[in-house]
Amino acid sequence: MNIAIGSDHAGFVLKQLIIEYLQGKGYTVKDFGCFSAASVDYPDYAHPVAKALDQNEFDFGILICGSGNGVCMSANKHAGIRAALAWKPELAELARQHNNANILCLPARFIDDSLAIECVEKFLNTGFEGGRHQRRVDKI
């Protein structure tokens, strides 16, 4: 599975941890930045991840910023993207099951490392249920 990942400065440390975790599990991960904790603008990293995913270069994306909101809003500007903010594994799971989300957005300032990893695992290992949910996703 190929994963695109990006963050702003607030999510930099958590992004590094997630990359290491995913690579250890055998995932292929491309880091779209940022590459330090120096202040940056989150759309500069969210848009390239969303564009690459929208062009079918990756299976899923993960975006991280302080609240998770900025990267989520930026990514959702792309027509084929369904980015979902999650701070609990159950939310990550439902985003996949019911909304067929393709980008997981995490709030680095409001989630600890182990909970973030749990969210990533639920997101990547949960399938879309389809059925009545497909009709709703089609309306997005």
Residues identified as active-site: 65, 98
Give the span between the Cα atoms of 36 and 75, in whole angstroms.
21
DSSP for 36-96, please give it.
Answer: SSS---THHHHHHHHHHHHTTS-SEEEEEESSSHHHHHHHTTSTT--EEE-SSHHHHHHHH
